[in-house]
Amino acid sequence: MKRHGLRTGRASRGVGLCKNSRMFAASRNRRARRLFALTIAAVLLSLVLLAKYGRHPDTATLQILHHAVTSPVGTDSTYYMQMGEQAFNGSSQLIYRDLFFTQHQKFIYPPSSLFLLKILRAAEPLYISSDTAMMVLLVVSWIGVLALAVWLYRIESGSSSIAESCCIVVLGILFLPIAEALYRGQVQMLLTCLWGAAVLLWMRGRPGWSGFVIALTCVFKPQLGVFLLWGLLRRKWRFTAALAGTGFVIATASVLHYGLRNHLDYLQVLSYLGRHGEALWANQSFNGLLNRLLRNGDAMSWSLTVYPPYVPVIFVMSTALSLLMLTAALVAPSFGGWQGTAADFLLLGCSSVLISPIAWEHHYGYFFFLIVFLLARAGTLTTMRWGVLAACLLIMANRLPPLDHRMSGGISLVSSYLLYAGLALLILLGVEQRRRAELHV
C-alpha cells in the first residue's frame, strides 16, 4: 500500500509538472505570436504615416529617424549648454540671472550639466571635435538603449528567441521619443540609456550601482531625485546611500566650480517653470494639457524666450495632479505587496516624467523600458490588457498630425495622447502586478 501510494504521488507530481510545462510553452508561444503581430503592425503604421505625412517636416517617425542618421548631429541640448557656459564666463558669472531672468533664454539645465561640455572637449587633443564626440555619445546611447531593452526582455520573459529580440530592436527603432531624441541631439538620449541601465541593474540585484546611475541622470535633470524618497520608504539602504553619496559629490563639485549663487538661482528657475510650464503641443504633461485647455499661451509655435503667463488655477490643478500621481506611485505598490520590485522601480521612474511641468515627447523614452517589461509578460495578459498595451505602444511610437493640430480649447484634449498612453500604461502595470500578487507568481 505504501509503495502504491508512493507511485501514485510520483505520478501526480509528474502530471503536474507536465501540465505546468505545457502551460509555460503555450504562454511562451502566445507571447511570441503577439510580439510578432505587434511588430508588423508598428512597421505598417509607420509606413502609412510616412506615405501620408512624409512631405511635412518632422512628422513621420521614419522620416525623423532618416534625418537622425543622415544629417549632422542636432544641437538641441549643447546649444543651450553653450549659452550657459558663456554666461558663466561673463563678467558677473551669474548664469540664470543673466541668461534666464534677464535675456529670457530657455537654459533650464542645472549648473552641473555644463560639465558635459568639458568632457566633450577632452577629446580635442585626439583631434576629435566636441560635435563629433557628442554624435558618438548619442549613437552609443541609442545602441545602448536597444541593447538594454533586449536584455530586459530576456530577463523578464525567462527565455526568448533571436526573432523576439529582433522585434524588440525594431520596436525601439520605431519608437518616436527615442528617434526624436537622437535627431535633435538631445542629452535625453543619454539619460534614457542611463535609465535603462539603472532598471537592469536593479533587476540584477545591484542596488548600489543602480543608485549610482540614477544620480548621474540628476546631473542633467533632477526629476529622478524622487528616488531618494523612494529608497528611504522602501528601506533600500544600499541604493539610497549610493544615490545620496554620488549626488552629494556631484553637487559639491558643481557648487565649488559654478558657485552657490547659481545653484540658488536654479531653484528659482525650477519654481518659475512650475508656475508657468509650456503650452506648446509637444509638452505632454498635466501643465501643458491645462494651458492648452484654457487657451493660455501659444500652443502651435515654439518661442525661444516666452513662457505662458502664470495662471493660478493651472498651477494649482497641475501641482495637485502631480502630487496625487507621485503619492500613488509611492504608496500603491506597498498596498499591493510589490514594493521594491522592478515594477515598482519602473512605476516611479515613468511617473517622474508625467509629474514634471514640462514633459516633451523625447522624455517619454523612459516608457519604452516599461513597455518592454510588459511585452515580456504578453503571454499571460488577457485580450483586453494586451489590446491596451499594443494601443499604447502604437500611440507613443508615432506622431498623429490630425490630433496635433487641434490645440486650444476643449478640442485640445485629444492632443495629449502621449500623456493618456503613459497613464494607461502605469494603470496597466498596477493591475497586472495586483493580478500576479493574487496568483503568487
Report the candidate in 252, 243, 433, 231 with the shortest Cα–Cα distance to residue 338: 433
C-alpha distances in angstroms, 80 versus 76, 105, 178, 283, 397? 7, 8, 20, 18, 27
Would you state the cell numbers that stand for residue 312, as one nine-digit string? 493660478
Report how far residue 73's alpha carbon sits from residue 75's, in angstroms, rounded to the nearest whole number: 7
Residue 1 lies in a domain: no
Contacts 24+ apart (CB under 8 A), 311-317: 314/277, 314/287, 314/290, 315/274, 315/275, 317/286, 317/290
Read off the DSSP letter of residue 305: S
pTM: 0.93
Residue 15 lies in a domain: no
Contact present, 364 and 418 (Cβ < 8 Å): yes
- Predicted local confidence at residue 73, as pLDDT: 74
Report the candidate in 405, 423, 418, 362 with the shortest Cα–Cα distance to residue 179: 362
Residue 279, pLDDT above cutoff 80? yes
Report the candidate in 158, 167, 182 with the shortest Cα–Cα distance to residue 58: 182
Lowest mean pLDDT among 12-26, 41-55, 152-166, 263-277: 12-26
Report the candidate in 223, 218, 214 with the shortest Cα–Cα distance to residue 241: 214
Residue 13, pLDDT above cutoff 70? no
Length of the chain: 441
SS3 55: coil
Residue 213 lies in a domain: yes
Residue 17 lies in a domain: no
Percent of the chain with pLDDT over 70: 93
Residue 23 lies in a domain: no
Residue 14 lies in a domain: no
Contact present, 217 and 195 (Cβ < 8 Å): yes
- Predicted local confidence at residue 304, as pLDDT: 87
Residues 67-118: tens digit of each pLDDT: 888 877 778 888 899 999 999 998 889 999 999 999 999 999 999 999 999 9
Would you state the cell numbers that stand for residue 141, as one nine-digit string? 546611447
Q: What angle do CA 396, 401, 405 make, to 5 degrees?
A: 120
Contact present, 257 and 95 (Cβ < 8 Å): no
Residue 244 lies in a domain: yes
Residues 146-196: tens digit of each pLDDT: 999 999 999 999 888 999 999 999 999 999 999 999 999 999 999 999 999
Would you state the cell numbers that stand for residue 189, as one nine-digit string? 538620449
More confident residue, 375 or 412: 375
Contact present, 115 and 254 (Cβ < 8 Å): yes
Residue 406 lies in a domain: yes
SS3 400: coil
- Cell 544600499 locates to 238
Kindly report the average pLDDT of the chain as a whole number. Answer: 91
CB atoms within 10 A of CB 324: 12
How many domains, the chain? 1
Print the domain residue range for 145: 31-438
